[in-house]
Structure 1
């Protein structure tokens, strides 16, 4: 059987292109407009996407005022609240929300994701992030953000607590015997009694075991710590490879780490993000990209590059190559990927900054056949197991992909024409974790 792609749609912010909201067809408040969001989620479900994926920010982005005032990310819904609403108007598409391990409480997060999994009939996913934005720390009573190594140490313990709470329920704990009056078998519900460096949690969780056992676990990042954690714990790994060669290297590395951790590598799906421009001709697709990129104001360029690299780029000479970068406590893998792009293509700081404002991900541009060719090559040469599709604007970016690219992928047998299962794990082909109490 032909390998098939796993496809996720990036939906929060509604698009990643800095100027998405300036496109003439875009509702300027689409990022904060429930009817628009509902219609987009239903559109992706009709196209049989595996899941919608929602990012999150716990502070406004750290940009100078001239750049921040141009950013459509300044207002958006809490992802779990938004996905709970989407759950009520969809039936099969997965619902992956970002939840931070740096500023959340593990008991509350475990309870909320279990709730989403039950409300959606088993379609929830948790994207684990350690939150690199230094402004977020100031919103949680801290003066500075945690250092990189400490963020991941906390994340490992956080993950153990959350999954331990989910595992504290047997699938058969709810007896609900009307004759005897016994609602639950307390021998099949156990406290966690966790005491660690960062958390002390007694448990048990006061909601039954999630439909999927655990919601699908996703993780993004390319640092050594992120790769190790993904290989041990993640079902989906969101990458940011900007070339097929770096995609293959990342794929091999994470899969080999998964094998070393005793896992089946087929149960660790690698999904790089790509912003897609598709047209009836290649010239039309390129024109769409040029049009969007011309909408990006110059004030947005350097601040966006600073976010990608985790350093203040305003001090660099814009017309010279990117200098050697200092160590960052923020996104280390992201910094390496962008620095590699600059070296590979010989870009100046100004040219790289323009790329950073236009898209924070890789890009695919061409006809539906050309986009399908690229996706097929990535899949068949083990650069990925699928993609997080990033749409350049709304609704045009969504409409272009689902009406042109999806049918071409389906024609080639590279993508489903209907959902195979009822849960996100079933549709992606992932096993359901067993409770240790069963």
Structure 2
């Protein structure tokens, strides 16, 4: 008999939390460069039996006068966190636009060994002009160029991870045989963007290869995820649109000859938790009182490709103007999810600012309300789990672990203990064979 479907939960570490003013409430407002701050987050996630912690990344400094952004390089930080934890997965973001596949494949395989098989690579493209300027590009690549490069980049990375077969690393002291050269393969890749001989210098990792994640909902992102990814992080703000996305992506995966049950859809979720709904709203209100409304309007306008004067605080979004925006340097998934949320509930700009503003679905309420909502989306196939955003770390995550996780466990949809040691085991994913192993299917 097949095992019951299992809910999957990660915590998304962006800055010191999702709320823009959260850093103003911390004992250490410089926590973005404090290893102990991240250790507490990772240990809290592990105490709650979460699948993984997820680190986003930025390749250009922006809005730094207003508050903290991602600072430390993800794989370096995850290596340190691997020694502070034993089970929780470690997901790091890296750009396929401004990296080299050999170096990234080696880096993630190395951390997978160091962590005992708990690592995932979140492959993203980078559209930011400020980031391009940090990597000797006068202008960013077009959307088509970014995703064409990303497709080949991930293809090369998976080939390199597979370049050592499982039995290639012998280390036989009595015979003096260290490796089996017949089981270590040059990948001899030559494509439009990369020419990589291989093999990787690192033996096959504990998971076979690190878990591969993709974040985004654009057409290029969907195509990349359907071909390669084990899981997708996405912005979905309404259950009907999430169900459509869920069904579409599972079907795309099936068309690639892959098992859709081994492909996970994990929308972002932003819970603000209180013992009562009034307490939750009070917590949020205290944080919101620290915000500059004009600055938040300008931030929302910029993300939508509009000027601040295009938005009126107590009016709906200007849908006609948004429909005319065609810039390739904008987060398409954010725009689509924000518009879907605003239309579905008739929200004004002020309402949207109160809701994060539409980037990831926010629930302000009690543990029971949040657990019931999660269970509904899970059972109705809007999600296989969630990428959780805390308003402020570590307290927002601790509230979820202490008060929501036990309710999900009682519902029978979330683990009480880790049953495996690798991230693939947490996610219910099989260990892939090397594509160079005799009789293996190509990846």
Between the two proteins, the alignment pairs up a number of residues equal to 429
The normalised TM-score by structure 2 is: 0.92
Q: In 2, Cα distance between the equivalents of 1:313 and 1:348? A: 17
Displacement of 1:414 in angstroms is 1.8
User: What per-residue deviation string (whole Å, max 9, x for no partner) do you get for residues 128-167 of structure 1?
Assistant: 1002322100000001111111111100000010001111
Q: In 1, Cα distance between the equivalents of 2:420 and 2:115? A: 13
Q: Which residue of 1 aligns with 2:441?
A: none
CA contact under 8 A between 1:137 and 1:145: conserved in structure 2? yes
Displacement of 1:252 in angstroms is 1.1
Find out whether 1:266 has 2:261 as its counterpart. Answer: yes
Q: Which residue of 2 aligns with 1:54?
A: 55
Q: In 1, Cα distance between the equivalents of 2:390 and 2:108? A: 26
Q: Which residue of 1 aligns with 2:440?
A: none
Q: How does 1:333-352 map to 2 (within 5 A)?
A: 333-349=333-349, 351-352=351-352
Displacement of 1:397 in angstroms is 0.6
Displacement of 1:355 in angstroms is 4.3
RMSD: 1.8
User: What per-residue deviation string (whole Å, max 9, x for no partner) do you get for residues 318-373 of structure 1?
Assistant: 2454332211213222222222233333344455456456x731111211111110
Segment drifting more, 250-259 vs 106-115: 250-259
Helix, strand or coil for the counterpart of 1:157?
helix
Counterparts in 2 of 1:26 and 1:412: CA distance versus 1, 3 Å: farther
Q: How does 1:13-412 map to 2 (within 5 A)?
A: 13-23=15-25, 25-61=26-62, 63=63, 68-73=64-69, 76-309=71-304, 311-319=305-313, 320-323=315-318, 324-325=321-322, 326-329=325-328, 330-349=330-349, 351-353=351-353, 355-356=355-356, 360-412=359-411
CA contact under 8 A between 1:2 and 1:413: conserved in structure 2? no
CA contact under 8 A between 2:301 and 2:310: conserved in structure 1? no
Q: In 2, Cα distance between the equivalents of 1:313 and 1:321? A: 15
Segment drifting more, 410-419 vs 298-307: 298-307
Q: Is there any run of 5+ residues in structure 1 with no aligned partner, and where? A: none
CA contact under 8 A between 2:23 and 2:68: conserved in structure 1? yes
Q: In 1, Cα distance between the equivalents of 2:257 and 2:4? A: 26
Helix, strand or coil for the counterpart of 1:7?
strand
Q: In 2, Cα distance between the equivalents of 1:303 and 1:130? A: 25
User: What per-residue deviation string (whole Å, max 9, x for no partner) do you get for residues 245-278 of structure 1?
Assistant: 2211111111111112211111111111111111
Displacement of 1:297 in angstroms is 1.6
Counterparts in 2 of 1:116 and 1:26: CA distance versus 1, 3 Å: same
CA contact under 8 A between 1:304 and 1:356: conserved in structure 2? no
Counterparts in 2 of 1:317 and 1:430: CA distance versus 1, 3 Å: closer
Helix, strand or coil for the counterpart of 1:391?
coil
Counterparts in 2 of 1:70 and 1:190: CA distance versus 1, 3 Å: same
Q: In 2, Cα distance between the equivalents of 1:210 and 1:313? A: 48
Q: In 1, Cα distance between the equivalents of 2:298 and 2:182? A: 55
Counterparts in 2 of 1:328 and 1:394: CA distance versus 1, 3 Å: same
Displacement of 1:286 in angstroms is 1.7
Q: In 1, Cα distance between the equivalents of 2:33 and 2:108? A: 22
Counterparts in 2 of 1:433 and 1:183: CA distance versus 1, 3 Å: same
Displacement of 1:304 in angstroms is 2.5
Counterparts in 2 of 1:26 and 1:246: CA distance versus 1, 3 Å: farther
Counterparts in 2 of 1:260 and 1:155: CA distance versus 1, 3 Å: same
User: What per-residue deviation string (whole Å, max 9, x for no partner) do you get for residues 44-101 of structure 1?
Assistant: 101101000000000013x5xxxx411211x621111110000011111000000110
Q: In 2, Cα distance between the equivalents of 1:303 and 1:88? A: 41
Q: In 2, Cα distance between the equivalents of 1:45 and 1:174? A: 31
Q: Is there any run of 5+ residues in structure 2 with no aligned partner, and where? A: 438-443
